[in-house]
Structure 1
Amino acid sequence: MSRRTRAGDEDLFDTPIPGDVDSALTKLNIEIVGEDAANFRIACPAHFRRKGKEDRNPSCYVHKDTGVFICFSCDFRGPFVTLVAEVHGTPFEDAAQWVGEQGTIDLAVRLLSGQSRARKREAEEIGESHLALFTQPPARALASKRISADAARRFEILWDPQRKYWIFPVRDETGKLLGWQEKGKGYFRNYPEGMEKGESLFGLQALDGEEGVLVESPIDTAVLWTDGVAGGLASYGAILTPKQLRILGGRLNRLVDAHDNDHDGRRERVKTYQHFHGTGLIVRYFDYADLDVKDPGEMTAEQNRAAYESAYHPMMRSLVRFGRR
C-alpha cells in the first residue's frame, strides 16, 4: 500500500475502515465533542501542524459509518487511515495495519470505492464528512470549463477523482447539506435519490448583497464569477420551484435572469418576470443579443460582461444600448 494520504490520490478509496468508528476514535484518545445523525465532531488533530494553533472551536467531522473525515477550518481530510497516521505519527502502511487490527467492514470499503452508492438506502442521512470523498477540481478540468480555482472554491465545486466527475453540493436555505449533483461526460445523477434540490439555489451561500444572476447550471455560476460577474445563482434546471421563487423574492432587490438562450429558457424567463412584476424586485434579462450560444458557459468573458451590463427590462427591449455586442 502506498504512503500517499492526500484526498485525491488514487489509493484513497482502497483503505480499511474500522467496523466501529466510535470505538476507534476512543482508542486514538480523540474526544467526540458533538454529533449529528451522520457524523461525530472532534477537534482536528492536524490543526496545530497546519495552522500553528489548536482547534479550539472543533470543526472536524468524522462520518459514523465510513470514517471519512474533513476539517472545515484547515481542510485536513481523507479516509480514516489518514487520521490514524496523523495521530500516531506513523507511516500510512502502519496506520492501515492498526485500523485492520480493529476489525473492518466490507460495506465501508465498497462505499469508498463508489460501488455501493446506488444501493445505499434512500433515507440515509447525508453529512458534511461525505464531502471528504471529493477533492478540489484539477487544473485541466477547471480549464475545460473556463473557471478559476478561486471560483470553484467560492461555490464549493468539487471533483470525484476516481470517476472524474464534477460534484456540486446541494444545500438548503440554511446551508444544510442535502446531497450533491454528479456530472460527467454523458453522465448525470442526483445523490441521494429523491433529494429535494428545489429547496434552495446553488450559490446561495456565496451570495453577497441583494443582486443575483440566475442561471440554470451550477457550473455557470463559477463561469460568471471568473468573468467578473458576481451573484450567480443556479436553479438546477429551467423551472423554478415555489420555494426557489420565495427565496429570490426574500433575498434580492434586483435579478438578472440568464435562463438558457433556448425555447425553454426564454419561456421560463417570462414566467419569472411575470411572477415578480409589481413586487418590488427588479427583473432584467441577460442580453444574449444575437449570439448563437446556449448559456454563459459558451460565451467569452467579454461577452458575459457585456450581456450582464446590457441587461434590459423585458418591456423595453428597444432601449437597450445601441452598438452592444
Structure 2
Amino acid sequence: MREYPIPADIPAALADLGIQTLRLVGEEATGKCPMHVERTGKEDRHPSWSCNTETGVFNCFSCRYTGPFVQLVVDVLGGSWDDAVIWVRQRGGIERVNQILGRGKYLKELVEEASVPLITEADLALYTTPPRHARIERGLTEEACAHYGVLWDSTRDMWITPIRDRSGKLLGWQEKNKRHFRNCPDSIEKSKYLFGFHKFRGGVAVLVESPLDCLRLLSVGVENAVSSYGVAVSDWQMQLLFEYADLVVLALDNDSAGWKSAQQLKLRYRGMGRRLAFYNYGQSTAKDPGAQSGKEIRFGVDHRLSPLRVRFPS
C-alpha cells in the first residue's frame, strides 16, 4: 500500500523543491505550476497552481496537474515513490499527519462531509443540451453553452448552470427559469465560487451577475466572462480575480442594486485602480449585458471606464 506523508512545513518543503510561493491565501500557497511546460509545452505565465498547506494536495486549474504532495516530489525530483516518501518523512511527514488527524475540527469536518451526499458528473446525466428556442430567446450559441457546460431540464423547461470550484470539480448547480430559482444543494456557499472561473485563462476578466450573461458575452465574441451568482460580490471572489487576472472589468446590472454594489467595490478596492475597470453602458437602458446587442456588449468592454471616470446614477 502506498504511503502519503505530508511535510511538517509545506511552504518550506516547496522551497526545497525549487517551487517559489508567490502568495499565501488562507491555506493555499499559490505559484507557477512546476509541471506546466512538461504538460502543455508553455510557461505558466499567469500563476494557476496552488498547494494546500494543511493537506499537501496540489492542483493546477489550467493544465489539471493535481495529486498528493508525494506525487509532486516524484515529478519534480524524478525519483521513485519510495524515495519521495523518505524525502517527505525527513521533513516531519509522520508528525504532520498526526497533527492533522489529532485535530477535533478536522475529524468533525470529515464526519460532516461523509454525511453529505456526494455530487458527481453523473448527476447531470438527466439534463440535455439547451434547445434551439431557449438559446434564441437569450441570444446564446450552442458553442457558448458547451464551453460553460450549461444544460437544460426538458421536463421543467429550466436552465441548469453548474457550480464548480476553480479546478472544475462539480459542487452543485442552479435551476432557473422565469418562475423558479433554486440552488442544489441549498447549502452551497455561492460567495466562495465564481461561475466559469475554471475556464478562465488569464488576461482581462469580465465579472457579471448572472451565469447566463457569461454565455451571452461569449456568444458575441467576448471571452473570459465569469459570474458572481448575484449582485453581492464577496472579498474572496474579488481577491481570486485580482490574483489571476491582469484586469477585472465589473459589468454588474444596470440598476440601482448593481450601481450600489459597483460603487461599494470601487471604494473598497480603490487601491487597485490600475487593475479595476467598469463596464460602459453608455446611453443604453438595458438592465444587464445579457439584454444588449453584440455591438453594445463589445462597446461596453472595449470602452470600459477607469475608477476615476466612472459615474453611477444617484
Q: Equivalent residue of 2:285, what SS?
A: coil
Name the CA distance, whole Å, in 2 between partners of 1:221 and 1:267. Answer: 21
Report the Cα offset of residue 154 of structure 1.
0.6
Match of 1:129 in 2: 122
Report the Cα offset of residue 281 of structure 1.
5.5
Name the CA distance, whole Å, in 1 between partners of 2:246 and 2:191. Answer: 21
Q: 2:224 aligns with which of 219, 231, 243?
A: 231
Name the CA distance, whole Å, in 1 between partners of 2:194 and 2:204. Answer: 14
Q: Equivalent residue of 1:278, what SS?
A: helix
Match of 1:193 in 2: 186
What letter matches 2:123 in structure 1? H
Q: 1:220 aligns with which of 213, 218, 227?
A: 213
Contact preservation (8 Å) 2:194, 2:237: yes
Match of 2:282 in 1: 289
Matched, 1:311 2:307: no
Q: 2:176 aligns with which of 178, 183, 191?
A: 183
Q: Equivalent residue of 2:264, what SS?
A: helix
Q: 2:164 aligns with which of 129, 148, 171?
A: 171
- CA RMSD, aligned part only? 1.9
Name the CA distance, whole Å, in 2 between partners of 1:145 and 1:279. Answer: 34
Report the Cα offset of residue 145 of structure 1.
0.8
Report the Cα offset of residue 270 of structure 1.
1.9
The TM-score with structure 2 as length reference comes to 0.60
Name the CA distance, whole Å, in 1 between partners of 2:277 and 2:250. Answer: 6
Name the CA distance, whole Å, in 2 between partners of 1:212 and 1:298. Answer: 19
Superposed CA deviations along residues 191-248 of structure 1, whole A, max 9, x for unmatched, are 1111122221001012122210010000000101111111111000011123212211
Q: 1:139 aligns with which of 124, 132, 144?
A: 132
Superposed CA deviations along residues 293-313 of structure 1, whole A, max 9, x for unmatched, are 110111111111111111111
Matched, 1:268 2:276: no
Name the CA distance, whole Å, in 2 between partners of 1:314 and 1:200. Answer: 25
Report the Cα offset of residue 174 of structure 1.
2.6
- Total equivalences in the alignment: 198
What letter matches 2:223 in structure 1? A
Match of 2:154 in 1: 161
Report the Cα offset of residue 290 of structure 1.
2.0
- Show the 5 A alignment for 1:97-116: none
Report the Cα offset of residue 317 of structure 1.
4.5
What letter matches 1:208 in structure 2? R
Superposed CA deviations along residues 134-162 of structure 1, whole A, max 9, x for unmatched, are 11111111111101000001111111121
Name the CA distance, whole Å, in 1 between partners of 2:253 and 2:301. Answer: 14
Match of 1:298 in 2: 291
* Structure having the larger proportion of residues in helix: 2
Q: Equivalent residue of 2:159, what SS?
A: strand
What letter matches 1:288 in structure 2? Y
The TM-score with structure 1 as length reference comes to 0.58
Match of 1:88 in 2: none
Report the CA distance shift for 1:140/1:297 in structure 2 as closer, same or farther (over 3 A). same
Q: Equivalent residue of 1:266, what SS?
A: helix
Report the Cα offset of residue 273 of structure 1.
2.5
Name the CA distance, whole Å, in 1 between partners of 2:196 and 2:294. Answer: 19
Match of 1:248 in 2: 241
What letter matches 2:217 in structure 1? L
Superposed CA deviations along residues 23-49 of structure 1, whole A, max 9, x for unmatched, are xxxxxxxxxxxxxxxxxxxxxxxxxxx
Give 5+ residue unaligned stretches, structure 1.
1-121, 319-325
Q: Equivalent residue of 1:214, what SS?
A: strand
Superposed CA deviations along residues 260-314 of structure 1, whole A, max 9, x for unmatched, are 0111111111222333332476111111112111101111111111111111112
Contact preservation (8 Å) 1:256, 1:286: yes
